[in-house]
Structure 1
Amino acid sequence: MVPRKAIVTCAITGSIHTPSMSPYLPITEDDIVSQALAAAEAGAAIIHLHVRDPETGRPSSDAERFERVVDRIRAGCDALLSITTGGSAQMSVEQRLEAPIRLRPELCSLNLGTMNFALHPLALKERAWKHPWEKPFLEATKSGFFRNTFADMERTIRELAERFGTRFEFEAYDVGHLYNLAHLLDRGLVKSKPFVQFVMGVLGGIGADADNLSFMKQTATRLFGDDIEWSALPAGRSQMSLCTMAAILGGNVRVGLEDNLWLAPGLLAESNAKQVEKITCILSELQIGVATPSEARRRLQIAQ
C-alpha cells in the first residue's frame, strides 16, 4: 500500500501581522527569500507569497518587488509559488492583481467572498509599535471589510486562469464560501480540480475549532465529492492542533508566519522553517508522508 502524502503549504509573511509583533516576521526581500527557501528545504511543497515595504514593513502590492522575490526563490528551489491576489483589505482589486498578471504564476490564492476581515483586536494589546502605520492599520479593520465580490472573483479567474492557465488556492473563510465555489464550478468558470484552504480563526469568518473543521470537511464532501484537494489553514494558536486533525481526516496542511507567529505557547517561531519542521515531524509520527513539489503539481493538475 502506497503511504498517503500531505501537501504542506507555507505562508511566509502575509498582511495580518505587523513588524512590532515578532522580530522574526520577514520584511525585506532578502528575508522573505531566505525564509521561503528554508521552508521549502524543510518540506513545504507550496510557498504562499506576499511582499512588504522593506523600510516600514507595510504590506505592498509592488509588482517589481514581487518579481524580484519570485525570481530569486525560483532560482533556489522547485516549490510551487502561490502569489496572493488578496494582498490586504486596504488594496484595490487592481492593485491586488497587478503582480499576478505580470508574473503569470502557476498558482494564486483567491478569496471566495467579501467579508469582515477584522484585525482590530490585535491593536488592543500594549506593545512598543515600531512604525506609526501599524496600529491605525489594524484599527481600521473595525469599520472596513475585505472585498471580493462575484464580479471580482470572475475577473480574477478570467485574468489569470483563462489567459495563463493559473490554478488557484481557493480560500474559504466560512461555510458559505464553499457554496460560492460550487457556484463558480456550476457556471463553468472553475474548470480544474479545486484546491481549497479552510481558513479558520479570522474574526469575521468561521472559528478555529474541531467541530468547525469537521463541518467544513463534511460540507466540501457533500458539494464536491472526492474531486477536491483540501487543506486546513488555522490562524493563531490552533494552527498545529487543527493541521494535525486535518491530516488525520485526509487533508493537507498550511503553516507559516502569515497565519501564526508562535511555535508553542509562549514561544515565538524563529522562522517559517521551524513551523514546517514541526508539522512534518507530526505527519511523520502519523505515518503520513510529505508531498514533493512535483507530486503536488500532479495532484493539483499543474503542468510540469
Structure 2
Amino acid sequence: MTLRCHPNCRAAIEATRAGAAVVHFHVRDPKTRRGSRDAALYRAVMERIRESDVNPVVNLTTGMGNGLLLGEPDSPLPPNPSGTDMASVSERLTHVEELRPEIYTLDCGSMNWGAGSQYVMVNSAGTLRAMAARVKEMGVGPELEVFDAGQLVSVRDLIKEGLIDDPALIQLCLGIRYGAPDDPTTLMALLHQLPPHAIYSVFSIGRMQLPHAALAPLVAANVRVGLDDNIYLSRGRLATNAELTQRAVEILERIGVEVMSPHQVRQKLALKAQV
C-alpha cells in the first residue's frame, strides 16, 4: 500500500517520517503568495527534502497554467485576466525538465470548477499528448490524475499511442464538484474502466478523505491524503500533513494493511533515480 501526501518542504519531511512514501507539492511566490511555476522555488524545496534524513519519492505538479476564467455568460470573451493562467506546454514543464523528479502529475482532461463559476480547468487532448510525449523523453514517470470517467478514455488513448508506458499509474480523484462523486457506486464504475495492469490510488476531498483511506485497500487501491484535499483531522480540528498521514497509517495498520516505504515504492514502480 503506497501512501501519498501533499505537503511542502518541512511538512514533506514530517509527513515522510509519519509514513508517507510519496510527497507531492506546489509552490507559491513568497512575495505575492500566489501559485508559481518558478523552477527555482521547486528546486529549493527539493534540495531541502534531499538534505534531510528522509528520502521520499518526489511528485511534481504540472497543473499550473491550465486555468481559464471566462467573462460573463453573455460575453465570455475575452477571458478574465484576474483568474486566467494559461501557459504553453514548455512553460508547464520547465521545472520538470530542469529538476527531473521521479514522478510528475498529468491532469487527464478539462472540467468546470466551482458552483456558478466561469472558471474552467483546461487540458485539451492535444496538450495532453504533447506533455506526455515530451516528459517521456525525459524519463520521468507520469501519475495520471483522473477526475471523471471520460478522462479514462484519454488515459487508454495515451497508452495505446505509446505516450504512456504500461502499467499506468493512475490517481482517481473523487468528490470534486462537477467531477466524479465519491460514492461507492461511482468508484466501482471507474475501477471497471481502468486499463489492464494499472496501478492506482483513490481519494476524496474534504471530510471523506480519511474514510477513503480505509476504503482504498478494499478495492486494491493506494491512498492519498494531505492538506491539498482536506484541512481537517476531525470536525472543527485543523490538521497538519503529518497528522493526516499518521491517521491514515493508523487506519491502514489497524485493518492489517502494510504501508510501503519509499524504497519499496521505487522498486514497485521501477522509478528512475533523481538527478
Q: TM-score range by the shorter chain?
A: 0.7 to 0.9
| C-alpha contact 2:61 2:106 (8 A) present in aligned 1 | yes
- Asked if 1:41 is matched to 2:17, the reply is yes
CA shift for structure 1 position 284: 0.3
Deviations 1:141-171 (A, max 9, x none): x112111112111121122112x21101110
- Equivalent position to 1:11, from 2, 6, 11: 6
- Equivalent position to 1:246, from 208, 216, 237: 216
- Equivalent position to 2:56, from 76, 79, 82: 79
| C-alpha contact 2:57 2:102 (8 A) present in aligned 1 | yes
CA shift for structure 1 position 111: 0.5
Alignment of 1:51-200 (within 5 A): 51-76=27-52, 77-87=54-64, 89=67, 90-93=85-88, 94-116=90-112, 118-119=113-114, 142-162=117-137, 164-200=138-174
CA shift for structure 1 position 206: 0.8
Point out the structure with the larger strand share: 2
Q: Partner residue of 2:236?
A: 266
CA shift for structure 1 position 175: 0.8
Which segment drifts farther, 97-106 or 38-47?
97-106
Deviations 1:250-299 (A, max 9, x none): 11000000011111122111x10000000000000110001111111121
| C-alpha contact 2:213 2:252 (8 A) present in aligned 1 | no
Provide the C-alpha distance between the structure 1 equivalents of 2:136 and 2:56, rounded to a whole number of angstroms: 20
For the residue of structure 1 that corresponds to 2:270, the secondary structure is: coil
Q: Which aligned segments of 4 or more residues in structure 1 are displaced greater than 6 angstroms?
A: none
- Quick one: which amino acid aligns to residue 57 of structure 1? R
- Asked if 1:275 is matched to 2:244, the reply is yes
CA shift for structure 1 position 56: 3.8
Q: Partner residue of 2:74?
A: none
For the residue of structure 2 that corresponds to 1:44, the secondary structure is: coil
| C-alpha contact 2:15 2:241 (8 A) present in aligned 1 | yes
CA shift for structure 1 position 91: 4.3
- Quick one: which amino acid aligns to residue 3 of structure 2? V
Provide the C-alpha distance between the structure 2 equivalents of 1:266 and 1:56, rounded to a whole number of angstroms: 29
- Quick one: which amino acid aligns to residue 80 of structure 1? V
For the structure 1 residues 91 and 50, does the alpha-carbon distance in structure 2 shift closer, same or farther, using more than 3 Å as the test? farther
Which segment drifts farther, 146-155 or 164-173?
146-155
TM-score for both structures, normalised by structure 1: 0.79
For the residue of structure 2 that corresponds to 1:207, the secondary structure is: coil
CA shift for structure 1 position 61: 1.1
Q: Partner residue of 2:182?
A: 208
Q: Partner residue of 1:297?
A: 266
- Quick one: which amino acid aligns to residue 267 of structure 1? R
Q: Partner residue of 1:132?
A: none
| C-alpha contact 1:210 1:242 (8 A) present in aligned 2 | no
| C-alpha contact 2:147 2:179 (8 A) present in aligned 1 | yes
| C-alpha contact 2:140 2:272 (8 A) present in aligned 1 | no
For the residue of structure 1 that corresponds to 2:207, the secondary structure is: helix
CA shift for structure 1 position 120: 5.6
TM-score for both structures, normalised by structure 2: 0.87
| C-alpha contact 1:193 1:301 (8 A) present in aligned 2 | no
CA RMSD of aligned residues (A): 1.6
For the structure 1 residues 272 and 250, does the alpha-carbon distance in structure 2 shift closer, same or farther, using more than 3 Å as the test? same
| C-alpha contact 1:157 1:189 (8 A) present in aligned 2 | yes
Identity %: 30
